[in-house]
């Protein structure tokens, strides 16, 4: 069984978001060689781009809050409130380092077990065709789809799932049709993909 995942799988694990427990179980299956985890190369860099944007937003917010609190502290009625509010800024600053460390550790873990589907010249050409013919708006999503479809066509294993929270683009009928031709089931939730995998493994026992 092959489990195809991309950047939101890495982010879910790194930041311990809503479905991180399901992602944790999926990656443990891969570490125990119950499944093979495949991630497209472009999805390795995307979480860092997301992290940089998050860090910039929070740095901007902290900077603006410090300015406003400094102004507020000049007014005697609000001096205590302004001082107390500073305690809420510290977690914002600390979260940047925590998320960076979490992302580094998660990526290292994925790289130790996952097969990375490369982005080659033919992959880019296929992504351009997908955008043109299927109406995929995002170049990144088109590259993800092209890389995974290319991997599927080159791998004889016919039991495979693709899990991605981005249902807006990947439930595109043309993309779904191409995934179906490769016997690949799509799941928009990590918990749903985990349930399917558990049922499949129980039937095989």
- The reported pLDDT for the residue numbered 205 is 62
Query: What is the pLDDT of the chain when averaged over all its residues?
Result: 88
Q: Give SS3 for 115.
A: strand
Q: Do residues 35 and 76 touch, judged by C-beta distance below 8 A?
A: no
Banded pLDDT at 106 (limits 50, 70, 90): very high
* Residue 82, pLDDT score: 65
pLDDT score at 136: 82
Distance, in Å, from the CA atom of 51 to the CA atom of 40, rounded to the nearest integer, reads 19
Tell which CATH architecture fits domain 2-57+111-204: 3-Layer(aba) Sandwich (3.40)
List CB contacts of 134: < 8 A, sequence separation 6 or more.
172, 174, 175
From the CA atom positions of the chain, what is the Rg in Å? 21
Q: Give per-residue pLDDT as tens, 3-39.
A: 999 999 999 999 899 999 999 999 999 999 999 999 9
1 versus 65: which is more confidently predicted?
1
Q: Best-predicted range by mean pLDDT among 1-10, 77-86, 158-167?
A: 1-10
Are 51 and 100 spatial neighbours (Cβ–Cβ below 8 Å)? yes
Can you give the pTM of this predicted structure?
0.83
Label residue 164 by pLDDT band (50, 70, 90). very high
- Residue by residue, what is the 3-state secondary structure of the chain? CEEECCHHHHHHHHCCCCCHHHHHHHHHHHHCCCCEEEEECHHHHHHHHHHHHHHHHHHHHHHHHHHHHHHHCCCHHHHHHHHHHHHHHHHHHHHHHHHHHHHHHHHHHHHHHCEEECCCHHHHHHHHHHHHHHCCCCHHHHHHHHHHHHHHHCCCCCCEEEECCCHHHHCCHHHHHHHHHCCEEEECCHHHHHHHHHHHHHHHC
Query: Where do the structural domains in the chain lie, given as residue ranges?
Result: 2-57+111-204
Residues 60-79: what's their mean pLDDT? 78
- Lowest average pLDDT, out of 59-73, 144-158, 171-185, goes to 59-73
Q: With 80 as the cut, is the pLDDT of residue 81 above it? A: no
Confidence band for 95, pLDDT divided at 50, 70 and 90: confident
pLDDT at 4: 96
Residue 196 confidence (pLDDT): 93
């Amino acid at each position: 069984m092959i489990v195809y995942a991309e950047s939101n799988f890495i982010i879910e694990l790194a930041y311990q978001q809503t479905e991180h427990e399901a992602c944790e179980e999926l990656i443990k299956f891969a570490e125990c060689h119950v499944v093979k985890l495949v991630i497209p190369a472009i999805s390795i860099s995307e979480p860092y781009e997301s992290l940089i944007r998050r860090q910039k937003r929070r740095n901007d917010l902290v900077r603006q809050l410090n300015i406003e609190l400094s102004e507020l502290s000049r007014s005697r009625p609000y001096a205590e409130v302004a001082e107390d509010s500073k305690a809420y800024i510290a977690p914002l600053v600390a979260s940047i380092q925590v998320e960076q460390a979490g992302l580094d550790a998660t990526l290292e873990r994925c790289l130790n077990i996952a097969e990375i589907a490369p982005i080659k010249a033919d992959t880019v050409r296929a992504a351009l065709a997908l955008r043109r013919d299927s109406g995929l708006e995002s170049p990144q999503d088109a590259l993800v789809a092209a890389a995974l479809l290319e991997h599927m066509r080159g791998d004889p294993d016919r039991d495979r799932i693709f899990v991605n929270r981005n249902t807006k683009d990947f439930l595109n009928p043309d993309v779904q049709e191409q995934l179906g031709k490769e016997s690949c089931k799509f799941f928009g939730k990590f918990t749903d993909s985990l349930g399917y995998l558990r049922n499949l493994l129980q039937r095989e026992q």
